Amino acid sequence: MADVQKENKKGRFRSLRRLPWGLLIFCLTLSGCRLPFPSEEAERSFFSMNTLMTFTAYGENAQEALDEAAAQVAWADGSWSVTDESSEIWQANHSGGKAVTVSGKTARMIAFCLKMAEETDGALDPTLYPVLKAWGFTTDTKRVPSPEEIGGLLERTGYEKIRLEGELLTVPEGMELDFGAVGKGFAGDLAAQALREKGIESAVLSLGGNIQTVGSRPDGTDWRIGLRSPWEDGRLGVLRVSDCAVVTSGGYENYFEDEAGNVYWHILDPKTGYPADTGLASVTVICPEGRLGDALSTALFVMGPQKAEEYWRAAGNFEMILVTQDGRILITEKAAERFVLDAGREEQITVLYEGPERSAGKGRI
């Protein structure tokens, strides 16, 4: 179990006894030997949205369907990039406050993100890009900005200042949109839709930290997804899912340590501009759509355990697995029915029921 200290008043993190290298990365687990799937199998791996993606599909014309799915992701990457001058988002960010016309799919993505920002009371905010840049999380030059610099940059944020009227998008001058917290999930939805339209009924899409499944495995059983432990190399447990999205966000994905041993991660609290230190190490969301999982995994991390539970009880349209910095697991009831902790694990598990929560003890559910 990791020894994690609390955030100090400046939002900085004291040293971690064990730093979380490459944690909670999803991997497909086929429970030992490979089953003889009866239908045609095709696989395609490619780099997009700054991550390696691997798509696998089963059925007739599976390769052709994967090509179309990959094309949808490539389109999203090119349209929503904050650094590509030909992208729709870059043009809106550099329009000088003038309205620009975006495509229908981009308008739907923006509308969804703004809706989630409002519903989460700003825990998800797509206008935080200037602050992320100041920290260096979008570059190879990471640094700790001064409180004065962060305060000035926060004045250039606020999702409520963005205007979207149909396909007309207005980004006020000095502000910048970034859909890194939603883009992969939305792209996964587009890819899954493309596969279904090609007649594919069984597929699994790995988009970095996002997993999107179409149907079940060809033999009718659930896909088995391994969640790696946040405390050391190895697996935390296995989650069984079919026809849904599974998305994890955590501080381990992008962080740095300063000379004094303070650790800073890329998930920022939009209200403070500092790394969100709410006691969570990671958030996994299981839901019907990748876009919802992407948005919520970030927002719930910012909210912290108590507010995340309150949001889950009010929303009722997703399940979640919260891993705390002190080594506990909080898991919703339906997710608990599909999750098996690996043998020998000692994490304390609490199942969140619709009624009062009940502790499941250590190393079991």
Question: Which pLDDT band, with edges at 50, 70 and 90, does 189 fall under?
Answer: very high
pLDDT at position 360 over 80: no
pLDDT at position 54 over 90: yes
pLDDT at position 251 over 90: no
All domains of the chain in start order, with CATH: 21-365 (3.10.520.10)
pLDDT in tens, 333-353: 999 999 999 988 888 999 999
pLDDT of residue 357: 53
pTM over 0.75: yes
- State mean pLDDT over 56-75: 97
pLDDT at position 193 over 70: yes
| Per-residue H/E/C for the chain | CCCCCCECCCCCECCCCCCCCCCCCEEECCCCCCCCCCCCEEEEEEEECCEEEEEEEECCCHHHHHHHHHHHHHHHHHHHCCCCCCCHHHHHHCCCCCCEECCHHHHHHHHHHHHHHHHCCCCCCCCCHHHHHHHCCCCCCCCCCCHHHHHHHHCCCCHHHCEEECCEEECCCCCCCCCCCCHHHHHHHHHHHHHHHCCCCEEEEEECCEEEEECCCCCCCCEEEEEECCCCCCEEEEEEECCCEEEEEEHHHCEEECCCCCEEECCECCCCCCECCCCEEEEEEEECCHHHHHHHHHHHHHHCHHHHHHHHHHHCCCEEEEEECCCEEEEEHHHHCCEEECCCCCCEEEEECCCCCEEEEECCC
pLDDT at position 3 over 50: no
